[in-house]
């Protein structure tokens, strides 16, 4: 019997979301004023951080089945900031406090300092329509 390989694992989704967040932060920071693209990019960051938080439980289930509770708890603690930061960013977006939104995006970018995204990436513009999705 051969090993079952899941190409759509939680870790792969987390890495893709991290890259998309980096691209969205770049797009947000390149805007001169808060226009629709800046709103969409910042709303996408909130949505993506929540999706990352959701993948953490999927990853630790296998570890807990084997009795690696300490490893599972460390992993949860490592990614706990994603939910806190997404909630903070959402509140700032509701208030439309763009200076604080920019500061929060810088904090998020610091967490993803080791994520390399080529300028010629093929991810497109994943944040289009995210403002509407988040606030409707």
- For residue range 72-106, list pLDDT tens digits in order: 999 999 999 999 999 999 999 999 999 999 999 99
Residue 130 CA to residue 4 CA, distance in Å, equals 35
Predicted local distance difference test score (pLDDT) of residue 78: 95
Predicted local distance difference test score (pLDDT) of residue 120: 81
Q: What is the mean pLDDT of residues 118-129?
A: 85
Residue 127 CA to residue 27 CA, distance in Å, equals 10
Share the mean pLDDT of the chain. 91
| CA-closest candidate to residue 81, choices 56, 62, 115 | 56
Residue 28 CA to residue 6 CA, distance in Å, equals 33
Predicted local distance difference test score (pLDDT) of residue 5: 52
Residue 133 CA to residue 116 CA, distance in Å, equals 27
| More confidently predicted of 5 and 54 | 54
Q: What is the mean pLDDT of residues 24-52?
A: 94
Predicted local distance difference test score (pLDDT) of residue 52: 96
Asked if residues 83 and 53 have their Cβ atoms less than 8 Å apart, the reply is: yes
Asked if residues 23 and 44 have their Cβ atoms less than 8 Å apart, the reply is: no
| CA-closest candidate to residue 112, choices 39, 21, 43 | 21
How many residues are listed for the chain in this entry? 136
Predicted local distance difference test score (pLDDT) of residue 72: 93
49 has pLDDT over 90: yes
Residue located via tokens 């990019």: 41
């Amino acid at each position: 019997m051969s090993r079952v390989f899941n190409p759509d694992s939680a870790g792969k989704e987390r890495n893709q979301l991290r890259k998309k967040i980096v691209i969205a932060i770049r797009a947000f920071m390149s805007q001169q004023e808060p226009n629709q693209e800046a709103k969409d990019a910042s709303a996408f960051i909130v949505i993506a951080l929540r999706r990352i938080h959701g993948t953490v439980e999927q990853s630790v289930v296998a570890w807990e089945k084997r009795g690696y509770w300490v490893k599972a708890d460390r992993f949860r603690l490592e990614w706990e900031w994603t939910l806190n930061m997404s909630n903070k960013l959402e509140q700032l977006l509701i208030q439309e406090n763009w200076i604080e939104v920019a500061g929060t995006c810088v904090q998020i970018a610091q967490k993803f300092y080791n994520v390399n995204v080529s300028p010629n990436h093929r991810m497109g513009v994943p944040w289009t329509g995210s403002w509407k999705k988040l606030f409707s």
